[in-house]
Amino acid sequence: MVTTDTAKYMETITVNWVLACRVNDIPQNGGACVKLGDEQIAVFNFSRRGEWFATQNLCPHKQQMVLSRGMIGSTGDNCEPKVACPFHKNTFSLLSGQCLTNEELSIKTYAVRVEDGKVFIAL
Amino acid sequence: MIKSTIIVIGNGMVGYKFCEKLVTKSAGFNIIVFGEEPRQAYDRVHLSEYFNGKSADDLSMSSREWYDEHDITLHLGDPVQEINRTNKTVHSFKGLTIKYDYLVMATGSSAFVPDIPGIEKDGVFVYRTIEDLELIKAYATTAKTGAVMGGGLLGLEAAKALMDLGIEDTHVIEFAPRLMPRQIDSAGSAMLQSKLKELGLSVHLNKSTSYIGGTHKADALHFNDESTLPIDMLVISAGIRPRDELAKLAGLQVGTRGGIMVNDKMQTSDETIFAIGECALYEGMIYGLVAPGYEMAEIVVSQLTGGSKLFYSYDMSTKLKLIGVDVASFGDAFITEPDCRTIVFEDTHKGIYKRINITTDGKYLLGGILIGDADAYNMLLQTVNNKLVLPPNPEDLILGSRGGAESEGAGVMNLPDDALICSCEAVDKAMICSSVTDLGITSVDGMKKCTKAGTGCGGCIPLVKDLIAGTMKANGQYVKNVLCEHFDYSRQELFDLVKINELKNYDLVLDHFGKGDGCEICKPAVASILSSLWNDVIVKQDTIQDSNDRFLANIQKGGTYSVVPRIPGGEITPDKLIVLGQVAKQYGLYTKITGGQRIDLFGAHLNDLPAIWEELIDAGFESGHAYGKALRTVKSCVGSTWCRFGLHDSVSFAIEIEDRYKGIRAPHKLKGGVSGCIRECAEAKSKDFGIIATEKGWNLYVCGNGGSKPQHAELFAADIDKETLVKYLDRFLMFYIKTAEPLSRTATWLNKMDGGLSYLKNVVINDSLGICDHLEEEMQLLINTYHCEWKEVVENPELRKRFTHFVNAPEEKDPTIKFEPMREQIKAQW
């Protein structure tokens, strides 16, 4: 039987934290794109909430590398954090990656850790 | 129970309306419809819109499915050829013989074609059905000069259609000494004629055509007075002729000049046969309008379903826009002194003529005529029909109350409950008000669905709107447009709150007046407010801007951006053109001329934007704000400096205006235009503000736009000098910036404004709110604080850093962007 604790432990050992950029590289309450290997990842500094998020940069709607340039915000009573694609304003949850405006779409999300002014992403 | 069979002959507007009314009243009939035309009933009233891009489907009044759903058998393209009254059967062209219990003849009318030699020639048409229109359209491609025979309502509609088809030289020939002889008087006709002339339509009155010249094709009209008019095509619109031939054949009584005679139950001389619409002759009169036709349909339905409604002579009041000119005639338009008192208002300059006839004791309105401005039509008609007692100064009815603060919407609530609002569908005031109160209908579209009001000719829609708003107000309802889930305020409220509290960034606004973390709706809306108030935040608060404003360029397919430098008034030097070409070549950009007389450079990588702009700024260019909800361009024609027609220097004025308002952020984009004469080559009337030179100065038009719902700008002030015009424009733009909802263009803003254009004029010209000084000051602040955002970025290394695709590899461009060649340039591959 796997307890919650063991699950957490298993996650930490499989995660590969990669240095993505410096904290100052990402605008406050906004996003920017980093290149990790061949992947483009959108990193968001939600400074109003003191939280960081990362997702794929590709908007699955029209296959455009633009999500990092989208506006972030929140929706609903639980203040679900979200990003809006600048192309057609589809919005995606920054937590689950689920598209909130078109249920057929979703994006990958990544865990983010900030240490000593550096931003790490779990690949 | 065996259902009675009703056969309807004719599937026009009235025949269709009869079916619609009957099936809603009763399911106890077996309905069979025969139609001669190949398609289902369509809206003939708006036929000329066929040339404005409406399709036959758009004009259609219902679908095939509608007939199926209601078990109505529809035989199209199959006219009834014979009625056998003894056996009670009809016999159709395709060979059907069907027994009826009741017969409803809705055969309508055909165009009256006078017996003039040469009428059979090619290039002579009538204007009646979609098929006629298709023939006209096909022939018009080779025609330069067109004439319409007949200056009545339909004739002028047909003339409009010819103009829409691109016939450069359109003429109207009328036998009578005035236009629209059934609706308006000589003075009104003269005013209408001069207005139409301005719009490029030549009118010839008192002209009787003796023959149509030409060998096979019609090529000239020869008149009795020996004069001739060369033409390429002719449209006959000399009146209508009731289609009574079938009735005549069946031995029904018809009038000497045509029309199936009916009594007040709409029964013909055979009591099982009814006639309705334009084929019916009631008390010696043919009713050539759709509303009385619908009323006749209603009478027959009532008779068949056990009711007792009777037809009385019908109100023939009409209001229409002919070639852009309002024309209305209501009540007893022609009664003259001493049987009444007549008040006339005439403004030859603006082309306005208004006449009202009132009782000699001054108590009641009898009728009147409106040319050029028919805004008051609905209220005046209601005043006649409901015998409302006139105010002590009845001239106010046509001049507008001067000095009084009463809003235009107030009058409608004073109408009696049974005041007929929509005469096409017989909807009265009580029905509309109760739909608002009891059913919660608050939009015109909702009202159309619920009561059908406004679905016929559409003329009552302003009145319906006012009634909805008036009823809601009376019920204490207040509809609030909140920005989004984060702000419980309208944009206008938030604008004032931000200003009064001097809030200068988004987070402060959200902390003070909002909740949550904001979103893609309120962020740019607040950004626009902050910009319109303080004019310095676009670059400072980049992450609350839409992508375009954030990167000061327009995002395009593939994630590249386009660059549009400002070219004020569309005037550019050869040297600057060369620079644009060089920059485009250097950065591999696709170039295209925009609709606003500028040059757009497409396909720029985010990383290249600052370098591109550095070169453009060095050459003297500034940001064109094509990316912002801001002033885009002020388009101009070449004006008096080069054009032989130009009255004033439109280019200089356009440059001056564009420089004045450049960079100003607004709820939506703003476009302007300046034309040097009435030919209007700058298309200024399709802009948020349009300026057109006149002999005496400039005319200012406001609140037009192109786009998905095109709307012409309306005349705001005439023959004013430059200084006055700029003053009005300052106030107008600032008032818009302060009060419009997010992303609403000036046209939408005006359409939703209580009191409409006259309210706006009162605020801006007469300073009715006492805010004009403020508006001017606020505008001056924006003008004084203008700066080129791109210059700011180019000169600031920190800001330049933002323009990278990968923050961890700033030199690298997005490798997913690919181009492919097209016509010696590139296009995005995706």
Answer yes or no: is pLDDT of B538 > 80. no
Residues with Cβ within 8 Å of B751's Cβ and at least 6 positions away in sequence, in order, are: B711
CA distance B137 to B154: 17
Taking only the tens place, the pLDDT of each residue in B201-236 is 999 999 999 999 998 999 999 999 999 999 999 999
pLDDT at B581: 96
pLDDT at A107: 94
Task: Tell me what ipTM this predicted complex has.
Answer: 0.84
The A residues from 62 to 81 touching B (CB cutoff 8 Å) are 62-66, 69-76, 79, 81
Kindly give the interhelix angle for B461-474 and B429-439, rounded to the nearest 10 degrees.
Answer: 50
Taking only the tens place, the pLDDT of each residue in B176-187 is 899 988 889 999
Which residues face B328 on adjacent strands?
A: B319, B370
Q: Which residues of A touch B808 (CB under 8 A)?
A: 20-21, 25, 34-35
For range B713-723, the mean pLDDT? 93
pLDDT at B480: 61
Query: Which spans in B619-755 are helix H?
Result: 650-661, 722-739, 746-752
Q: Which residues of A touch B551 (CB under 8 A)?
A: 69
- The answer to whether B813 faces chain A, any CB pair under 8 Å, is no
pLDDT at A5: 47
- Per the model's pLDDT, the better-predicted residue between B154 and B15 turns out to be B15
- The answer to whether B483 faces chain A, any CB pair under 8 Å, is no
For range B745-774, the mean pLDDT? 88
Q: How far is B603 from chain A (nearest CA, A)?
A: 14
Question: What are the backbone dihedrals phi and psi of residue B465, each rounded to the nearest 5 degrees, phi first?
Answer: -55, -50
Copy the structure tokens of residue B651. 């280019």
Tokens 């805010």: give the residue.
B771
Angle at A16 between CA A14 and CA A19, to 5 degrees: 165
Split at pLDDT 50, 70, 90, the class of A70 is: very high
For range B554-565, the mean pLDDT? 91
- Per the model's pLDDT, the better-predicted residue between B289 and B305 turns out to be B305
Question: Are B204 and B229 spatial neighbours (Cβ–Cβ below 8 Å)?
Answer: yes
Taking only the tens place, the pLDDT of each residue in B5-62 is 999 999 999 999 999 999 988 888 999 999 998 888 888 877 777 777 777 788 888 8
- For β-strands B318-322 and B280-282, DSSP reports them as unpaired
Q: Above pLDDT 90, what percent of chain B? A: 50
pLDDT at B400: 60
Answer yes or no: is pLDDT of B407 > 50. no
Which residues face A92 on adjacent strands?
A: A83, A99
Q: Which residues of B touch A82 (CB under 8 A)?
A: 519
Asked if B555 lies within 8 A of A66 by C-beta distance, the reply is: yes
Answer yes or no: is pLDDT of A101 > 60. yes
Lowest mean pLDDT among B250-259, B308-317, B544-553: B308-317
Q: Which residues of B touch A81 (CB under 8 A)?
A: 517
Which strand ranges, in their side-by-side order, compose the sheet holding B689-694? B631-636, B670-675, B689-694, B697-702, B714-720
For range B142-151, the mean pLDDT? 92
Question: Are B551 and B561 spatial neighbours (Cβ–Cβ below 8 Å)?
Answer: yes
User: Which residue in chain B has the smallest CA separation from A20?
Assistant: B808
Tokens 């999500």: give the residue.
A67
Q: How far is A13 from chain B (nearest CA, A)?
A: 26
User: Which residue in chain A has the smallest CA separation from B508?
Assistant: A48
pLDDT at B382: 84
- The answer to whether B520 faces chain A, any CB pair under 8 Å, is yes
Asked if B542 lies within 8 A of A21 by C-beta distance, the reply is: no
Answer yes or no: is pLDDT of A1 > 60. no
Question: What are the backbone dihedrals phi and psi of residue B719, each rounded to the nearest 5 degrees, phi first?
Answer: 50, 45
Answer yes or no: is pLDDT of A94 > 50. yes
For range B659-674, the mean pLDDT? 94
Lowest mean pLDDT among B136-150, B444-458, B735-749: B444-458
Asked if A71 lies within 8 A of B558 by C-beta distance, the reply is: no
Question: Are B143 and B233 spatial neighbours (Cβ–Cβ below 8 Å)?
Answer: yes
pLDDT at B403: 42
Question: Are A64 and A56 spatial neighbours (Cβ–Cβ below 8 Å)?
Answer: no
Taking only the tens place, the pLDDT of each residue in A13-41 is 567 889 999 999 999 999 999 999 889 99
Question: Are B88 and B99 spatial neighbours (Cβ–Cβ below 8 Å)?
Answer: yes
Q: Which residues of A touch B517 (CB under 8 A)?
A: 46, 48-49, 72-74, 79, 81
Q: How far is A100 from chain B (nearest CA, A)?
A: 13
Copy the structure tokens of residue B397. 């009815």
Put simply, whether the predicted model's pTM sits higher than 0.90 gets the answer no
Nearest to B809 among A26, A35, A65 (CB): A35
- The sign of the dihedral angle between the CA atoms of B551, B554, B560, B564 is negative
CA distance B319 to B368: 11
Asked if B546 lies within 8 A of A49 by C-beta distance, the reply is: no
pLDDT at B245: 93
Answer yes or no: is pLDDT of B767 > 50. yes
Answer yes or no: is pLDDT of A12 > 60. no
Q: Which residues of A touch B548 (CB under 8 A)?
A: 86
Three-class SS state of B147: strand
The A residues from 39 to 58 touching B (CB cutoff 8 Å) are 40, 43, 46, 48-49
Q: Above pLDDT 70, what percent of chain B? A: 97
- For β-strands B427-428 and B420-422, DSSP reports them as antiparallel
CA distance A24 to B470: 56
User: Which residue in chain A has the smallest CA separation from B830?
Assistant: A63
- The answer to whether A111 faces chain B, any CB pair under 8 Å, is no
Q: Which residues of B touch A79 (CB under 8 A)?
A: 516-517
Mean pLDDT of chain B: 88
- The answer to whether B559 faces chain A, any CB pair under 8 Å, is yes
pLDDT at B56: 77
Question: Are B539 and B799 spatial neighbours (Cβ–Cβ below 8 Å)?
Answer: yes
Question: Are B566 and B654 spatial neighbours (Cβ–Cβ below 8 Å)?
Answer: no
pLDDT at B478: 64
Question: Are B772 and B762 spatial neighbours (Cβ–Cβ below 8 Å)?
Answer: no
Answer yes or no: is pLDDT of B708 > 80. no
Asked if B547 lies within 8 A of A25 by C-beta distance, the reply is: no
Angle at B166 between CA B165 and CA B170, to 5 degrees: 95
CA distance B462 to B453: 11
Q: Which residues of B touch A34 (CB under 8 A)?
A: 806-808
Asked if A69 lies within 8 A of B555 by C-beta distance, the reply is: yes
pLDDT at A13: 54
pLDDT at B266: 95
For range B668-679, the mean pLDDT? 94
- The answer to whether A98 faces chain B, any CB pair under 8 Å, is no
pLDDT at B405: 38
- The answer to whether B814 faces chain A, any CB pair under 8 Å, is yes
pLDDT at B146: 94
